[in-house]
Chains A and B, each alone.
Chain A
Amino acid sequence: MKFLLDDEQAEFGRTLDRMLTSAGAPAAVRAWGGGDTGPGRALWKRIADAGVFALAVPEEYEGMGPLPVELAVSFIELGRHAVPGPLVETVAAAVLLGGPAECLDTSAAQRWLPRLASGQAMASLAMPAGGPYALDMDTADVTFVVGQGETELHTASGHGTVQPSIDPARRLAVPHIAGGVPLVSGADVGAATRTAADWAAFATAAQALGVGLALVERTVAYAKQRTQFSTTIGAFQAVKHRLADALIGLEFARPLVHGAAVALAGKSPDAGAEVAAAKVAAGDAAYAAARTALQLHGAIGYTAEYDLSLWIRKARALRSAWGSPSACRARVLAAPGG
C-alpha cells in the first residue's frame, strides 16, 4: 500500500503547471471562446508534447498508456489552468479505440491513435453515456460517435447547429452519422464504450478538481489583498470559514480521483463506481468552490472580463458533462460491493 504520488508523478504535475503558467492559458481560453482556436491549438500541441495524450494511448500505438494516475495528475493541472478544447473527449476516444483493441478493428486504432498521442489530431466524441452533444466538433479533427444500442462506432460526417455552453469556451453540437465512416460494429462495441465512458467521467472529475483548486487559490489571493471596513477581508471569520469548507470539499475529492485512477489501472470490477464517486465529489466540490469564489469576490467576480469567470463557468459545465450527479450517485449504489 502506497497511496501517494511518487516523486516522478508529482514532478510531472509541477512541470505541466509551469508550462501552462508560462503559456498564459487564460488568453487562449478567451480566444477559443471567441472563435479563434489558434492559440488553443498551439497550447494543445505543447500539452501533447508533454506527453499528456500519450498517457491514454497504448504503447503499441506510439503511446505510453494507459496510465490513469498520471492522467489524473495532468487533468488536475489542465483544469487548474482552464485549458480549452475536447481534452476529455480525446482521451476517451483514445481509450475507445485503443483499450479493447483485441475486440475492435485495429485499422481505426492504427490510423488515429498515434495522431491523438502526438497532438496532431484533436478528437471529439459522442456516446449515449455522455448525452446527444459532442464538444467542440467544429474544431476537432475527427468526431467518433457510438450510436444508440452501443453496437456501432462511426466517425461523424458533420454536425448540427453549434450551440453555446454555459461556459463560453465550450461549444456543443449534435453529430451527424449518416455518411460517416463506419469503423466497427458488433456487441464488443458496448464493452469498449462503457470503458471509454468511465475514462471520460474520470478525466472530467480530475479536471473539475483542478478547476476548484484554481478557484480557491485565486480567491485566497484576493481575500488577502482586498480591504473592507479597514480590514483585509481574509481576516473575517465568515470569509475564512467559506474558504475552509471549499478546501475541505476539494481535499476529500482528491483521494477519490486518485482512487478511481488506481481502480482503472487495475481494471477493478468496482472501477465504474469509484469513477462515479470521484465525479460526484469533484463536481460538487468544484461547484461549491465556484459559488464561494463568486461570493467572496463580489461584483468583480460576476463580470466576464475578470479571469475568474473562466473557472466559475467551467465548474458548472463540468458538473453536467459525462455523468450527471444523480446518474453517478445511482451508479455508486448499483456497484457490486455497494
Chain B
Amino acid sequence: MDLDFTAAEDAFRAEARDWLAAHIPASPLPSLETAEGFAAHRAWERTLSADRWSVVSWPARHGGRDASILQWLIFEEEYFAAGAPGRVSQNGINLLAPTLFEHGTPEQCGRILPAMASGEVIWAQAWSEPESGSDLASLRSTATRTADGWLLNGQKAWSSRAAFADRAFGLFRSDPDADRPHRGLTYLMFPLDADGVTVRPVGRLDGKPAFAELFLDDVFVPDADVIGEPGCGWQAAMSTAGNERGLTLRSPGRFTAAAERLTALWRAEAGPDDTTLRDRVADAVIRSRAYQLFTYANASRIAAGGSIGAESSLNKVFWSELDIGLHETALDLLGPRGELSDEAADAPAEGGWADGYIFSLAGPIYAGTNEIQRDIIAERLLGLPKGRRS
C-alpha cells in the first residue's frame, strides 16, 4: 500500500500545471448559467481541447490523451487547484460519452466525440420528466417508429444546460406494451433547435437558467442517433447513471481545492477563539482528504482489475453532503458578507462561494436522490431486504 506517484505521473502533473498556469483566463469567466458565460465557457473548452486537455482520459483518436484513471485524478487536482473555470461540457463528457464508448457505433463515436471534446457541440441531458424523477422506469415521453427513424413526443423537465446547449440525449418509451416498465425504452439523441422542439428555460434557486423544460412535438430522429438497441435504453442509461454517481462526476480535486480555499478564508476571517468554526473548517479538510483517499483506493482497485458497483452510491451521498458543508461553512465564516451574491460589489475577491453554495444545494437531489442512494447502499451493500419506500 502506497500513495507514491511514478516519475511519469509526476511529469504529467507538472505538464498539466504548467499548461494551466499559462492558459487560465486572467479574470473569472461569467457564470456559465448565462448566455454570455456559456459562450465564454465554450471558448474555454476550445482552448482546452486545442492542446488535448479537455478529455484527458479519452483515446487519442477522439481528442484525448489515453490518460489512466490516476492521471485523470491528477489532472483534476491540478485543474481545481489552479482555479480553472467550470466545465460547460460536463454532461456530454461525463454522461453521454461513457455510454457511447460502451454502446455507441464506431460511426457515432467518430461523429459525436470530437465535436464534444472541442466544445463545438454542447450537450444537455434530458432524462427526467414532470412525473418521473429518480424513478426513470416511469418515463412517459414516446419514441414512435417511422420508415427511417423515430418521432419523439412528450415533455422533459430539469434538463441541465438545455437553455443554451446544442443537442440533448435522453430515454423515450418506444414500446408501451413492454411487460416491465423499464423495458421498451430507447436511448436517443436530438438537436435542441430541431423542428418540434420548444425549450423553456427554468431558473434555479437564484433565478439563473441552469436547466430547462423541453416540449417535443413530432421531433424526427434518424436511426443513426439511437444509442444501442431500440428497446434496450435502460441498460445503456444505467451504465451512464453509474458513471454519474461514481468516480468521474465529482473529482476529489474539486473538494480538496475548495477545502484549501476555505482554510485560507478561515485564517483571514475567523477569530482564533472561534472553535466552532474552526472545527467545521477542519471537518471540511478531513472529509475532502477522506474523499480523495477513498477515490485513490477505488482507482487502485480498478487498476488491479476490480470494479465498483453499488459502492458508487457511498460516493454520491458523501460528496454531495461534503459540498454543502464546505460552502455553508464558508458563508458562515464571511459573517454579514455571507449573504452577498458573487456579483455584489462587496463580494469577497476570492469569491465564488455564493454560486458554489447554490450549486451544492442540488447535489443531494440530482443523479438519483440521496434517498435512492441510501436504499441502494442498504439493499446491495448491507443486504437489507427490499421493501417499503416509506
Q: Which residues of A contact B (CB under 8 A)?
A: 1-6, 9, 69, 216, 220, 223-224, 231-232, 234-237, 239-241, 243-245, 247-248, 251-256, 258-259, 261-262, 274, 277, 280-281, 325-326, 329-330, 332-333, 338
Contact = CB atoms under 8 A, between A and B. Distances in A.
Given A220-B382, A247-B381, A256-B289, A280 B388 contact: no
Counting chain A CB atoms within 10 Å of each CB, the highest count among B290, B296, B385 belongs to B290
B contacts with A: majority SS? helix
Contacts of B293: 3, 255-256, 258-259
A251 B378 contact: no
Counting chain B CB atoms within 10 Å of each CB, the highest count among A4, A244, A274 belongs to A244
B286 interface: yes
A330 B278 contact: yes
A4 B297 contact: yes
Contacts of B296: 1, 3, 255
Interface of B: 1-6, 9, 70, 263, 266, 275, 278-279, 281-283, 285-287, 289-291, 293-294, 296-297, 299-301, 303-304, 311, 314, 317-318, 371, 373-375, 377-379, 381-390
A239 B385 CA distance: 11
A234 B389 CA distance: 12
A330 B266 CA distance: 13
B275 A326 contact: yes
B357 to A, nearest CB: 22
Given A252-B314, A326-B279, A333-B278, A1 B285 contact: no
Nearest to A263: B3
A3 B290 CA distance: 13
Contact of A255 (B6, B283, B294, B304): B294
Nearest to B291: A252
B300 A333 contact: no
Contacts of B282: 280, 329-330, 332-333
B131 to A, nearest CB: 21
A303 to B, nearest CB: 24
Contacts of B318: 248, 252
Contacts of B384: 220, 223-224, 234-235, 239-240, 243
30 contacts: A1-B4, A2-B300, A2-B304, A3-B1, A3-B293, A3-B300, A4-B1, A4-B300, A4-B301, A69-B1, A220-B383, A224-B383, A224-B384, A224-B385, A234-B378, A234-B387, A235-B384, A237-B389, A239-B384, A240-B375, A240-B382, A241-B374, A244-B382, A248-B314, A251-B294, A252-B294, A258-B297, A277-B285, A277-B286, A332-B282
A236 B387 contact: yes
A252 B313 CA distance: 12
Nearest to B376: A244
A145 B386 CA distance: 54
B374 A244 contact: yes
B46 to A, nearest CB: 32
Nearest to A216: B382
B379 to A, nearest CB: 7
A308 B387 CA distance: 26
A309 to B, nearest CB: 22
B309 to A, nearest CB: 14
Given A1-B296, A224-B384, A224-B385, A333 B281 contact: yes
Given A262-B1, A333-B285, A241 B290 contact: no
Given A1-B70, A69-B1, 6 more contacts: A1-B4, A232-B387, A237-B374, A240-B382, A241-B378, A248-B317
Nearest to A329: B282
A239 B382 CA distance: 12
A142 B278 CA distance: 39
B312 to A, nearest CB: 12
A240 B384 CA distance: 7
B381 A281 contact: no
B5 A1 contact: yes
Given A245-B374, A252-B287, A258 B1 contact: yes
A280 B294 contact: no
B92 to A, nearest CB: 29
A338 B285 contact: yes
Contacts of A256: 286, 289-290, 293
A293 to B, nearest CB: 13
Contacts of A253: 290
